[in-house]
Every structure is written in structure tokens, then in C-alpha cells.
Amino acid sequence: MSERDEPIWIAEADAAALLSIEDAIEALAGAHRLYAEGEAANMVKTQAQSGPSNLHAVGAIIAGQEIAGTKTWMHTPGGAQPLLILISPEDGRVRAVIEAFALGQRRTSATSALATRELAREDAATMALVGTGKQAVAQAEAVAAVRPLTAISVYGRDPGRRAACVARLQDRVEAYVREEPSLEAALVHADIVTLVTRAAEPFVEAAMIAPGTHVNGVGAILPDRRELAVEAVAGFDLIAVDSLPQARSASGELNAAVAAGRLDWDEVAELGQVLTGAAPGRGGAGERTFFKAMGVGIADVALGAEVLRRARAEGVGVPLPAREITH
């Protein structure tokens, strides 16, 4: 084994520094294209629960990039520390272990940005950010990387967190950022809406979504969580997801619409299909479009592979003990 092939440990700060949002968007676009073309296989998220804590695992094999991997983490009241393990699909050797909390945030925001780039109107310039948690600022920054935003409206139920989110955004984006007192006020003039909340019950109704709006649904990724009402889901002209199997397994809002007879799974496209032209994208300026982000292994592995490539080139990372492969 050459020194270049030895497995390395890549720390959180290094992983974050090696990959810009623009780089992440392009890496994800390539991975989703490969997925649509059958050159990548995605492992549907699996999880186990014990009390208030949940153990999660996702993974993928990207044959088109000769990389495989799995990410696992324990979501606990005290936090989480995800680890991404990259593996060679040729001989099973571990190629890297990456601390992946920041990388996961980058993946989530870059996925929303990629969907926005493909599905939002070209002239979309105003955004509504609904939710003020840890992912919120990254979501707005990512959308600003693919559309020339002039204004961002921020709404969250907690006034203190809402004001803090606005202050952070004002330092990090060029758009005018304003705090809104109600959900309706935030949505009324928005060309792009990103929902990133922990809501268990739907709170966005069909009448709140204006013609021509693109919506990113990021927060509800468990079967018992929903951000959009059934009629809001039914009102979209185009719905795309990062993975159909994952959405069918865990999207509460899409499954609710299907159960109510207001949506058929045949009407839902994967983002990779839109990217390759296998499924249509936005058909007109007045269409309402929706992207449901579930979080998929191909995205984590694709970003990890790009981080590993850059780490090798720049001499970043701590060597790990190499083991002989057993048969």
C-alpha cells in the first residue's frame, strides 16, 4: 500500500474548510446525475430508538467515482457527532474517516441550493426563511449562491431566536434581511421559500403559496413530522425529491397526500432525473414547485469523496493505522 492510499482521519474544521458551498453544489449535481443513470446505489436511512435518542445510518456506493461509504450518528438530547467512513468498493479498504457534523450541514444546504437552481424561476430574487435553528443561516447562504437575492424574510415562533437569526444573516449575505411578525407576512412576497423547522403538525396551507413560488421542504424528515398541509402538497405543479425510496419511507407530508388520494407517487420525480432531463423541470413562470429534501447517502458520500480528494492534494489529515484485508 502506498502512503497515498493509507487511510486518514479528517477533522471537523478541515472538512468544512476544504469545501465551499459552490464546490458542494457541483459535487452533489454530479452524484445525483450518476444516481439517475444507475451509476450509484443509495442505502435507505435506517434508525433505531432508545428513549429520547435515535441511532441513524445512511450510505451509498458511487460506482461512477469508485467510492463507497456510510455515515452514522446518534441524535441525543446532548447533541450528535456524525462520522463518515469512506471505503474502496474494489478491495474494502477504509480510505478515510471524516468528522461530518459541519459537512452534513453543508450537504443539506447545498442540496436545497441545487434544487433551487434547477426548479426556481430564473428571476427569483426574494426568499422566505421559515425556521431559525442551526441549519437556517446555512440554508439562506446556499440559496444566495444560486440566485441573486435582494431580500430575505425570516420567520420563527421565538422572537429572540428570530432576531438573532436575522443578525447572523445580515453579516453573511448581501441581501436585505428583515424579521417578519407572522408566517403570512414572510411568505406573501417570496419567490423562494425554505422551510427548516421541527414542526410535527403542518402549518403551511395551500393559499399561502403564490403562483411561481419554489418551496424547499427541509425540516420534516421523519414519518411523524409535517410542515405542509395535504392541500398545499396537492397544489404543486412539480414535486421532486432527492430519493424516491427514502421519501416513500419517511416523508410524512408526501405520504399524507398519497393516503388522502391527492398525490400519486408516479407524479414525483427525483432530482437526478430533473438534472439529466429524464423528468421535466419547471414548465412555466407561474408554476409552483416543491423539493422535498430527505437527506441521502449518495450526497454524504459524494461530498466526503471530494473532501478526501482535496485533503490528499493539500496534505490534510492524520494517518490511521492500516490493516491487511482479510478474506
Look at residue 175 in the predicted model and tell me its pLDDT.
95
What residues make up the domain containing 57? 3-104+298-319
Distance of CA 264 to the CA centre of its chain: 23
**Are 38 and 124 found together in one domain?**
no
Q: What is the pTM of this model?
A: 0.93
Q: How many domains does the chain have?
A: 2
Statement: residue 5 has pLDDT above 60: yes
Same domain, 156 and 53: no
State the residue for C-alpha cell 408554476: 287
Residue 87 and residue 89: Cα distance in Å, rounded? 6
The pLDDT tens digits of the residues spanning 51-85 come to: 999 899 999 999 989 999 999 999 899 988 999 99
CA angle 251, 46, 14 (to 5 degrees): 100
Check whether 240 has a pLDDT greater than 90: yes
Domain-embedded: residue 242: yes
Q: Kindly tell me if the per-residue pLDDT of 153 is higher than 50.
A: yes
pLDDT at 280: 94
pLDDT value at residue 75: 87
Q: Where does the pLDDT of residue 322 fall: very low under 50, low under 70, confident under 90, or very high at 90 and above?
A: confident
What does DSSP say about strands 289-292 and 238-241: parallel, antiparallel, or unpaired?
A: parallel
- Is 191 among the domain residues? yes
Q: What is the CATH number of the domain that holds 137?
A: 3.40.50.720
Same-domain check for residues 66 and 207: no
> For the domain that residue 50 is a member of, what is the CATH number?
3.30.1780.10
Whole-number Å distance between alpha carbons of 43 and 301? 11
Per residue in 77-126, pLDDT (tens digit) is 998 899 999 999 999 999 999 999 999 999 999 999 999 999 999 999 99
